Structure 1
Amino acid sequence: MRELKILVINNYGQFCHLIHRSVRDMDMETKIVANTTPVEEILEEEPDGLILSGGPTMERAGICSEYVESIDLPILGICLGHQIIAKTFGGEVGSGNSGGYADIEVEIVEEDDLLKGLGPKTSVWASHADEVVRMPEGFIQLARSNICECEAMRHEDRPIFGVQWHPEVAHTEKGEQLLTNFFEVCENY
């Protein structure tokens, strides 16, 4: 796989720098970008894909919705990034029944481009203080757990993916595989 340029959009999550490091350690060119950066400046960077990081609240998500709506590139939303994607397309985000970070067993419902090689079940590190409680129309459910119906999803037509869990942390099984799968989507787009 050639070296790709992946921009990590900073939503002020505690793992944003870890996402950046994970991408860099996988031999990709990467840069952390503020979530208030105008769309034109994002495009001037000529990225191959975007990763929307996790973060504390939707109120601190900057203009990520604009990126999701108007940038025609593969996008991976992690935790808050996943929720931003859902909300942008008309889904619903609410409080989960399990707050705080925990080891969650996830069932892969649809082993698509992003989740290939992860199923049928995998153990992930996730917080469910907030979660997608209603998936938007035009999205396909990719994974669920016994505490959340929408652990992962993808847009039907565009290469836009969201996962509730954190593939960049060591506690997540096959997190590197998920990122590699995303890079393959970027390379083939």
Structure 2
Amino acid sequence: MDKLKLLVINNYGQTCHLIHRSLRDLGMDAKLVSNTSTVEDILKQSPDGLVFSGGPTMERAGNGENLIKIDLPILGICLGHQLMAKAYGGEIRTGQYGGFARVDIDIVEEDDILRGIGPKTVVWASHQDEVAKLPPDFVLLAKSNICDIEAMRHKTKPLFGVQWHPEVSHTEKGTLLLQNFIEVCRQRK
């Protein structure tokens, strides 16, 4: 199989390097890039997909609201998920449960990235902030008892967001989620 080029947009989260390493371990040509990159900088690298990492706050998201609108398959993780929601007209809010913890997830729709993961799974997540309202043209994929929007996708574009961290070992089937996203990128190539 062809080695895909995936760029990890660094939002200064604690696990950016784990996303990069996980993708590399799955045989991808993965590169960690700054969230202050321009759209042109990203497109010059001819990526097959983008992964937006988690991070501390929306204020540290750099040029993320522009980058997340690039016409490529995109996976937003934690802050990346929130950034996607905000950029496409959704709402974010401070979560009731901050910090990292185990979260039991209910899969509402087992789509492309959640294939083989449901109907329930256990993940490692931070809910310092969370998506409060889906953007127009997005559908709910997963929820939990502490967050109504744990995962979402765009109805027609290959845009996916998850509140949790598939790159950490505490997340059951996190590698499968990343493999599923890689397959989305491969199909679009």
2:168 alignment partner, SS class: coil
How many residue pairs are counted as aligned between the two chains?
Answer: 188
Distance 1:176 1:50 in 2: 16
**Cα drift, residue 126 of structure 1:** 0.1
Q: Which amino acid aligns with 1:16?
A: C
Q: Could you say which residue in structure 1 is the equivalent of 2:129?
A: 130
- The amino acid that maps onto 2:3 is E
Whether 1:150 aligns to 2:149 is: yes
Counterpart mapping for 1:44-63 below 5 A: 44-63=44-63
AA of the residue aligned to 2:11: N
Corresponding residue of 1:98 = 97
Cα displacement (A) at 1:135: 1.0
User: What residue number does 1:38 align with?
Assistant: 38
Deviation, structure 1 residue 181: 0.2
| SS of match in other structure, 1:147 | coil
Q: Deviations over 1:65-95 (max 9, x none)?
A: 11122x1100000000000000001111111
Q: Any residues of structure 2 matched to 1:13-32 within 5 Å, and which? A: 13-32=13-32
Secondary structure (helix, strand or coil) at the match of 1:90 reads coil
> Structure 1: which 4+ aligned runs deviate by more than 4 Å?
none
Name structure 1 gaps, 5 residues minimum: none
The residue type paired with residue 177 of structure 1 is L
Which aligned pairs between 1:70-89 and structure 2 lie closer than 5 A? 71-89=70-88
Q: 1:2 Cα deviation (Å)?
A: 2.3
1:96 aligned partner, one-letter code: G
Equivalent position amino acid for 2:33 in 1? V
Q: Secondary structure at the match of 1:142?
A: strand
Shift of 1:113: 0.3
1:109 aligns with 2:108: yes
Shift of 1:4: 0.6
**CA deviation string 1:106-126 (max 9, x = no partner):** 000000001000000000000
Q: What are the superposed Cα offsets for residues 130-154 of structure 1, whole Å, 9 maximum, x if unpaired? A: 1001111110000000010100000
| Structure-2 separation of matches of 1:52 and 1:46 | 16
Query: Identity of aligned pairs, percent?
Result: 64
Q: In structure 2, give the amino acid aligned to 1:36.
A: T
Q: How does 1:142-181 map to 2 (within 5 A)?
A: 142-181=141-180
* Separation (CA, whole Å) in 1 of partners of 2:4 and 2:84: 23
Which residue number in structure 1 is paired with residue 118 of structure 2?
A: 119
